[in-house]
Every structure is written in C-alpha cells, then in structure tokens.
Amino acid sequence: MVREQLEARGIANTGVLDAMGEVPRERFVPDRLAPRAYDDEPLPISEGQTISQPYIVAAMIDSALVGPTDRVLEVGTGSGYGAAVLSRVVAEVVSVERHPSLSETAAVRLNALGYDNVEVVVGDGSLGYAERAPYDAVIVTAAGPGVPRALVEQLAEGGRLVMPIERAANDQHLIRATLRDGLLGEEDLGAVRFVPLIGAQGWPAQASTRTRAR
C-alpha cells in the first residue's frame, strides 16, 4: 500500500509514509471488510459513513505540513484511522465526530491500540473545539460549503486548514488555507469526493444524502 498507492502518487514525506506503514488499518474497518482494508478505495463504516481511501488520508496529513510538536484538530473522527495515523506524526490530536456511536467505537479502538495522544470528542466539528485551541493545523474529513469561520478563529498564526469544499453540486476541491497576519491564503489541491460536513457551519442535516464517497 505504501509503495504502490502512496509513493507512486508522489507522497514523499517519510513521517507520513512510516505512520501509514505502521497503523493497522484492518483494525479500523468492520470485521467483514478486513480482507479489503488496504484496497485503494474508501470503505463503508457504520452510520452511513466511510473510512477514507489510504491515499487521501496520507495526502491530507502531508498537505497540512505538520510536524512533531504540533497540536492538530481533526474534524470527522469516523473510524479513528486518520487520527491514529496523524498521532504518529504530531504531538497531540483532538478529533471531533458528530455521531456518538462512531466516536465511542473509535475511542475504544484508539485506546486499545495505545494511541494515547488522541483526544476524541463528540460534537459539531464545524464549530471546532475551542477548549484546546489554538491548533497548528486543522484537517476536516468531510466536505462543507465553505471554510467554517470558527475553524479559522481556532488556528494559530501560520496555521494550516486542509478541507474539501463543495462550491457547486458534485464539484468538490481539497483546499489548504494558511493564516498569516490575520489573512487567509487559499490554495486549491485538486478535485476530491467526500461525505458532507453536517453542522452549524457546514450543511444542514437533510443534506446528508448529497454525497456518498470518501
């Protein structure tokens, strides 16, 4: 998986590659899907959600330009896999999930596997998690209509926010927004497909059937 799906597509960050090689992805998917855990695709978890494709997990962490002293907010814990990979690369991970059942399962898994620098929180991550702000980076694993203002307010100076934005139906782009001197500079990292960010600064709940993907 590391060689064929990540290095072959240009991921060269050794911290990210080592973490992707180390975290047992089969422990984060439903048992019946364990034989497909390292396939080059997202897989269904419960609550109609997905564990992202391995390449997307690596690319988002790589794009966030994070390092070993950083505190990072992840919005969308899902299975907990992305948080586990991130926890090998940075100092602290705070991960917010809106579905209590997913959050609880992820917390139990992360604890059992010894990822003790991850704090899992239930809530609307489109509002961030102000209690632990500021964050050196924020990674949002669901697509919203725009960059949530609350997340920008919780970024440290020089902080990076990586998230998919859906500017028109079926037209999502991964962006990196960097906060410098109170200004947010945005870069487009390419087309993607994610489940929707549901929340006060995302989509309303009835939009949850808009997309079904990563």
Give me the active site residues, please: 52
Asked if residue 87 binds ligand SAM (CB under 6 A), the reply is no
Asked if residue 50 binds ligand SAM (CB under 6 A), the reply is yes
For helices 54-63 and 14-22, the axis angle rounded to 10 degrees is 150
Comparing CA positions, the residue from 186, 203, 122 lying closest to residue 152 is 186
Asked if residue 142 binds ligand SAM (CB under 6 A), the reply is yes
Smallest distance, ligand SAM to C-beta of residue 189, A: 16
Asked if residue 99 binds ligand SAM (CB under 6 A), the reply is yes
CA distance 190 to 108: 34
Would you say the C-alpha torsion 32, 1, 19, 166 has a positive or negative sign? Answer: negative
Q: How far is CA 182 from CA 37, 177, 178, in A?
A: 41, 12, 10
Asked if residue 103 binds ligand SAM (CB under 6 A), the reply is no
Under 8 Å between Cβ of 156 and 107: no
Of 13 and 211, which CB lies nearer to ligand SAM in the complex structure?
211
Under 8 Å between Cβ of 194 and 141: yes
Candidates 23, 43, 96, 120: give the one binding ligand SAM (CB under 6 A).
Answer: 96
Place of tokens 């364990």: 34
| Binding span for ligand SAM by CB under 6 A among 118-126, 154-162, 163-171, 185-193 | 118-126
| Binding span for ligand SAM by CB under 6 A among 12-20, 129-137, 179-187, 194-202 | 194-202
Candidates 54, 125, 128, 159: give the one binding ligand SAM (CB under 6 A).
Answer: 125
| Binding span for ligand SAM by CB under 6 A among 92-100, 155-163, 165-173, 174-182 | 92-100
CA distance 71 to 107: 18
Smallest distance, ligand SAM to C-beta of residue 91, A: 19
Would you say the C-alpha torsion 93, 99, 103, 106 has a positive or negative sign? Answer: negative
Under 8 Å between Cβ of 52 and 37: no
Q: Interface with ligand SAM by CB under 6 A: which residues? A: 49-52, 75-76, 78-79, 81-82, 96-99, 102, 124-126, 141-142, 194-195, 197-199, 202, 214
